[in-house]
């Protein structure tokens, strides 16, 4: 089993700060995944859907892809 190099960053969204996991794939591409618990808590606190928070975190994290 191979392990991907990864790091954690915090991004700012209109729903609050969300931690994202950034994994470097073998070809050099990035896989960015918002942390579920951060998104769930922010969605609950702000009264919005979980998917809205996840989308906002993914958009905010695109800065790491450039």
pLDDT digits (tens, 9 = 90+) for 2-56: 677 889 999 999 999 999 999 888 888 889 999 999 999 999 999 999 999 999 9
User: Which two tokens mark 43?
Assistant: 């969605």
pLDDT of residue 61: 92
For position 20, what pLDDT does the model report?
Answer: 96
Cα separation, 30 vs 53, whole angstroms: 20
What are the Cα distances from residue 4, in Å, to 7, 11, 35, 49, 58? 10, 21, 17, 30, 19
- For residue 15, give the H/E element and its range: none
CB atoms within 10 A of CB 22: 17
What is the model's pTM?
A: 0.84
CA distance 11 to 18: 5
């Amino acid at each position: 089993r191979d392990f991907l190099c990864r790091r954690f960053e915090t991004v700012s969204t209109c729903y609050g700060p969300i931690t994202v996991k950034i994994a470097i794939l073998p070809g050099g591409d990035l896989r960015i995944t918002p942390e579920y618990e951060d998104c769930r808590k922010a969605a609950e606190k702000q009264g919005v859907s979980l998917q809205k928070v996840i989308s906002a975190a993914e958009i905010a994290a695109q800065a790491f892809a450039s």
